[in-house]
Chains A and B, each alone.
Chain A
Amino acid sequence: MYSDKKITKEDTWRPEDLRRHLQGQDRKSQRRERSKREEVQRTHRTGESTERTRQDSETDVRRERERQREKESTSERTNLREPEKEREEESRRKEKREKERRKERERVGEHLGWERRTERDDKETKDREEKQIQRYKKRDEKLGRYKERDREKERYRDKDREAERDRWKEKEREKQRKGREKNRERGGRKDYDWEKEREGGEREKERERERRRAERGKEEKAEKERGKEKEGSVEDKHREKEKEHERERRERHREREYSQEQEEWRERKRREKAGHRQLSGPVDREERERRKREKELWEAEENGGALHNAREAERHNHHHHHPGGEGGADRDRTREREKHKEKRYEDSKSSHGNRDQGVESDEVGGMKNEDYEEDFEDYEEDFEEVDEDEGKEEEEDENGESEGWRELSAHRSDEIKAIQRAMEEENELVSATLTRPPTKEAEAAHRDLLSAQTERRPARVQTHGRVIDFTAARQREVSQQAARRQQKRSVELLRLIELDFSVTESLLDLPPVSEYDMYIKSFGMSNTKQVYVQCNEDNTDQDTQTEEPDTHEKWTLHPAETNAVSGGPKVSQNAQESVAWMNGDSKRLSTFLHSAAQVIAVLLEENRTGSDSVKGLDSHIDSLSCSDRTLQLNTKLPLIHGRQVTLLHFSNVQVHILLSVHAPRCGPSEDTLDTHTLLCVWNIWEPSAPQKFLICEAEVQSCCFSPGQLSLVFAGTAVGSVLLWDLREHSGSHMCLRVNTEEWTLRYPTFSTDAVLSVAGHLSSVVSVEPVLVTMEAEFRGPLLAAQEESLGLSFQLGSLDENGLLILWVVVELPKADDSGSQTDLGLRPGGKVKLLHSSSLQTCDGSTSRGVAEVTEVMPHLSLLLRFLPSDSNHYFIGTNMGQVKRGTRHGLRVVPKLYTPAEGMRPAEVTALDFCPNREPFFLVGCSDATVRLHSLVRAEPMCGWSVGSGSVPTHTVCWCQTRLTVFFVLDATSVLHVWDLAEREDGPISSENLHPDRVTGMAVFGDADNRRSSSGFALVRQSGRLEIHFLKQSLALFRTSDMKTLRSLAHNML
């Protein structure tokens, strides 16, 4: 049935078809199908047309249409009987109502003809409505230009058609008759009945319509070519149509159930409307009239434009007021027509403007059912033609349309229905070829539509919904096509390209701002301003406001070891110097300091006491005849004030150093110091105070300095002990006594022979201590020797003599290291002392021989040793003065010396030797003073004295005899009455050159000083008075100056004496 081609074509026109299908739901679907097929077939068979087949087909067509009509409704039968009347009435009414439209009326007048009355009416109405609609659509400017053209063409066509119709009439009738007979034979009885009734105008109408259709077909090719050829083609068309109708009839039987349902429903409605009226004619008429009224309203609306809505509303109201009333179906139709109009309007818009006429034709169809349906058919055909011949000219279409109106007849609705059915099937098939989901949808839509048709046909809303459905379907179709294209495209493209997920890109990452940051952001920079920027970031500098204290690491050591007392790794330059200094010769330094200090001290003292001595001392001290200058030592110090000086001793080496022994104070005293004996070391040039204080408990009978260095002081005590002081000891290690504001260091003896050496010591009081000078010849002695002694250290012997004549020689030993904790073995050694005395040997000087001689003389008195002197030229020889006026001479090593005794000239007599003094300068002479007021000058070689003098009155014992150190012929004799006698043997041999009474203050002691070796040095003597005053007298130049003649004088004297 269906060609493949058609299916492909369906693609293009299907949506429209669907729409049409909706429009002509009930009957038209069949018609449409038919017409389509006719057209299709016609196009196929255009060359083959023959008269016979044409006639047959025409008759067939007519028959079928009639049959359809009859089937449709009973009312239509009545319509068929009185078509002309009705039309006339309608035309009249229309004319009356529509006087305004004069042109159309004139046209009507022109075409007044009996036969074509209906046609004309149709036409007029059509034209009128066309105009109206055109006017209505004038708004659409595109369409506006077609209007006039169409009108003219229609006029033309009408004339042509009329002519053709005349020609055709008779032929057609004959053909129709024949065809009718055939139809009767083939078809059912109904067809036969209907045909009879429909004879006459109906047939003519049909014929004309057929003709028109054919003409349209021809005009498709060209307007001018109108003639037999066209007619032939038209006949062909008819033929084909008829053939199809035959087929369709059979189909219709199938489909009739469906269509009949619709028809029955419609008839039911009509019956209800008609109510008591049995005749369908009046019903139809009423309906028509009513419809006309409505149409007028409609037209008016269209004309009025603005009123349209209101009136439509009225009309709707009207319908609503008569639900189930007369015009149910008609109303539906009108409504459908309206819809058609709208749809066509849309279609025309979308496809071609020339379809407007087709739209208008609907209005005409409203006059009666047949017309109405014809209109539809016409429209459908037009549409199909348009669809089929899209490429053809618009004008042809217009012509075809306008002609089609006339040709269509109402009784072909059945056929249309059948066609519609077929189309539906086709559509379904076609849609089935499409993608599935749309097909389903379409089917569903169809089903809905069908069900709606059967069940609720009058539902207006439903019809509306259908319309929308189909547009949607069309859109879907379009979109599906597009989608298909896209799909294909994508399939092809996706083979070529590769899609992938991109990495998740972060578009924005805004971290939350903490409260602190917020605060800093808003307030952090407040009250601050940037002053400068540091460009060179690593060039930063740091500084502190406080200065770090200087620290140096140092150390000190006490006592110093290896000459270093302090030091440190980071010492300053001064400290380093000091360390370097300390590392130097400390011995030399100390020596220097020692001597320098003495010099400085002396100088200071001289400055200080210069004025005093000038003022006070010189004034107080009586200047002696032999002395030109005197000096007074300050003995008014608290420690020594009031003490009697018992002994004075000058150093042999350093003649200005004076040692004075202060006896304990007389009378009871609470102070323990008063019972002690004090020894003071003076420098006569520092007369203000003694250099050192030495202290001991016992009474000191004798004292002496060490021979070389003035570092040691020895003392022999009344209790038989020998004491030793080391003056080098530091003052800190000795007792410190604070008297008034001055501090005095009291040095206790470094070594004492007291109890320790009791066995080997003296058992009686020590009357004299004398250092043993180095045993060498006097000639060798000199400053060099002294220096050697010093350098050699303290290594000499000390002789001590007690009253019993026991001479003990001690060896002075200096310990290499002092022991602060004291010595275990040397108990006499003071802790920290370094010098001690070792018992060397003991000599009993009072031997039997001497004692026998002495005993003769002095039976009543013991023989006492009083004085000890070592021969300065040979320390091996010692001289001891005795209480018998004799001087013993002995040697330490038992050598025999001559003479052993030096006795006075008058022989032995009880006289104490109070003084013994050797001539300085190692001359072999010595002076002896005796308590019997005699002074003797002895030569070493002779026992008898060279000279003897009686001092003073001869009753005053001599106290001291001192040889002047610088002049060999001058010596001083102090007697007990404090008279100082000065002898100068060069001037006077028999007596003193001067005697000077030193009263009133008795002189208790005297000592001379002067350097025999250095003859230019000053020499003098020290006198100590009873009051404790200590005076230094410097001798006059005449007495002090060395004279070489003195030696000759002395030797001559000695020679003379011998």
Chain B
Amino acid sequence: MDGSELRTNTYLIRPNYQHKFRVGVVEKCIREIQREQLSGVQYVSEEIPSLSLSLANSIKNRLKELGFNRYKLVVQVVIGEQRGEGMKMAARCFWDADTDSYAKDIYVNDSLFCVAAAFGIYYY
């Protein structure tokens, strides 16, 4: 209890400016990774699960390097086949809009589309 009280005083309610989750940087990062890993890839349903997983992991690792201290990162990657059907994806978050944010990027080629979204949630 003493410890927790002490900790109360050490709460960091806002991230430092340089550590803030910057959407632009993250989007760029996501885009780069998508371009690297998805360019020229054809949709093969067997390979997609592993591909999406690896994509998500690589994005996550890259984001970790960017130094978003005290941020919990959630990376979601959805890869679907492009066959002309309409599709909608949406996200809704219950969070502190001051600190938390998300970045996404869409990669589309002839055979597939990939939506990668990274959510950064600040851990107080």
Please tell me the number of chain B residues within 8 Å of chain A, measured between CB atoms: 28
Within 8 A of A (CB), among B1-32: 4, 7-8, 11, 13
Q: Is B115 an interface residue (CB 8 A)?
A: yes
Are A499 and B94 interface neighbours, CB within 8 A? yes
A256 nearest CB across to chain B (Å): 41
Are A493 and B11 interface neighbours, CB within 8 A? yes
A46-54, A211-219, A507-515, A592-600: which one contacts chain B? A507-515
Q: Is B85 an interface residue (CB 8 A)?
A: yes
Within 8 Å by CB of A493, from B106, B113, B124, lies B124
A492 closest partner in B (C-beta): B8
B93 closest partner in A (C-beta): A502
Are A485 and B88 interface neighbours, CB within 8 A? no
A504 closest partner in B (C-beta): B92
**What is the count of residue pairs linking A and B with beta-carbon distances less than 8 angstroms?**
73
Are A510 and B92 interface neighbours, CB within 8 A? no
Are B13 and A518 interface neighbours, CB within 8 A? no
Are A499 and B90 interface neighbours, CB within 8 A? no
Known: A505-B91, A512-B84. A498 touches B113 (CB 8 A): no
Are B85 and A512 interface neighbours, CB within 8 A? yes
Most B CB atoms within 10 A — which of A493, A507, A511?
Answer: A507
Are B94 and A501 interface neighbours, CB within 8 A? yes
Within 8 A of A (CB), among B48-80: 78
Are B113 and A510 interface neighbours, CB within 8 A? yes
Q: Is A152 an interface residue (CB 8 A)?
A: no
Contacts of A488 in B (CB 8 A): 4
Are B8 and A497 interface neighbours, CB within 8 A? no
Contacts of A500 in B (CB 8 A): 94-97
Are B93 and A501 interface neighbours, CB within 8 A? yes
Contacts of B8 in A (CB 8 A): 492
A485 closest partner in B (C-beta): B4
A506 to B115, CA, bound (A): 11
Within 8 A of B (CB), among A474-521: 485, 488-489, 492-493, 496-513, 518
A518 to B85, CA, bound (A): 11
Within 8 A of A (CB), among B87-109: 87-98, 102, 104, 106
B89 nearest CB across to chain A (Å): 4
Are B104 and A499 interface neighbours, CB within 8 A? no
Contacts of B98 in A (CB 8 A): 497-498
Within 8 A of B (CB), among A643-688: none
A511 to B85, CA, bound (A): 7
Known: A496-B11, A500-B97, A513-B84. A505 touches B92 (CB 8 A): yes
A507 to B97, CA, bound (A): 17
A103 nearest CB across to chain B (Å): 50
Within 8 A of B (CB), among A905-931: none
Are B87 and A508 interface neighbours, CB within 8 A? yes
Residue interface bits A9-25, CB-to-B below 8 A is 1, else 0: 00000000000000000
Are A506 and B84 interface neighbours, CB within 8 A? no
Q: Is B117 an interface residue (CB 8 A)?
A: yes
Contacts of A501 in B (CB 8 A): 92-94
Contacts of B124 in A (CB 8 A): 493, 497
What are 22 A-B pairs with beta-carbon distances under 8 A? A492-B8, A493-B11, A496-B11, A496-B13, A499-B94, A500-B94, A500-B97, A501-B92, A504-B90, A505-B90, A505-B91, A505-B102, A505-B104, A506-B89, A507-B90, A507-B115, A507-B117, A509-B88, A510-B85, A510-B86, A512-B84, A512-B85
Shortest Cβ-Cβ A-B pairs, 6 listed: A512-B86, A513-B84, A508-B89, A507-B89, A510-B87, A502-B93
- In addition to A500-B95, A502-B95, A507-B91, 17 A-B residue pairs with Cβ atoms within 8 Å of each other are A492-B8, A492-B11, A493-B13, A496-B11, A497-B96, A498-B96, A500-B96, A506-B89, A506-B90, A507-B106, A507-B117, A508-B89, A508-B113, A509-B87, A510-B86, A511-B86, A518-B84
